[in-house]
Amino acid sequence: MKSALVVVFGALVTVNSFSAESTLQNDPILMEHWPPYYRPLVAYVWSGVPIQWVNKTASPHSVRDDDCVTGETCLFDSRSVRPGESYTIPGLPPGRYPYHCELHPIMGGTLIVEKPVGKTSLQ
Ligand SMILES: [Cu+2]
């Protein structure tokens, strides 16, 4: 029983140190006029945590899951986000999610959604 408690405590310490040192994204993702268009281009986020994009340009943009195009499960599609506005999704399951702007096909970004517990490879 004592060893089990030690293991649980060790896991908590590991998770806490990972949080402090990781590059996981807490700030909104910015939509921009110039490359890489979405900043950061590849955003690492926790699963289940809301993700926000902010449009600080003078033009409308969108955030659309690439799977919306292929006919697979379309997990997010902002439609047009006007200048000064933002778009937030409640969070995603772990995985890799390429996305694009429906209005400007040159704009593309990627979300990497990480599972917060039991993930040790980034330490
Ligand atoms: Cu755009």
- Residue 45 CA to ligand 1 center (angstroms) comes to 22
Domain boundaries, the chain: 2-114
Distance 70 CA to ligand 1 centre (A): 19
Distance 4 CA to ligand 1 centre (A): 52
2-114 CATH choice from 2.40.480.10, 3.20.20.10, 2.60.40.10, 2.60.40.420: 2.60.40.420
For residue range 11-63, what is the model confidence (pLDDT) as tens digits? 443 343 343 334 576 789 999 999 999 999 999 999 989 999 999 999 999 99
Would you say residue 114 has pLDDT above 80?
Answer: yes
40 C-alpha to center of ligand 1: Å? Answer: 15
What per-residue confidence (pLDDT) applies to 9?
Answer: 44
Whole-number Å distance, alpha carbon 12 to ligand 1 midpoint, is: 41
Distances (CA, A) of 32 to 2, 6, 24, 94, 97: 54, 48, 20, 26, 19
pLDDT (0 to 100) of residue 72: 82
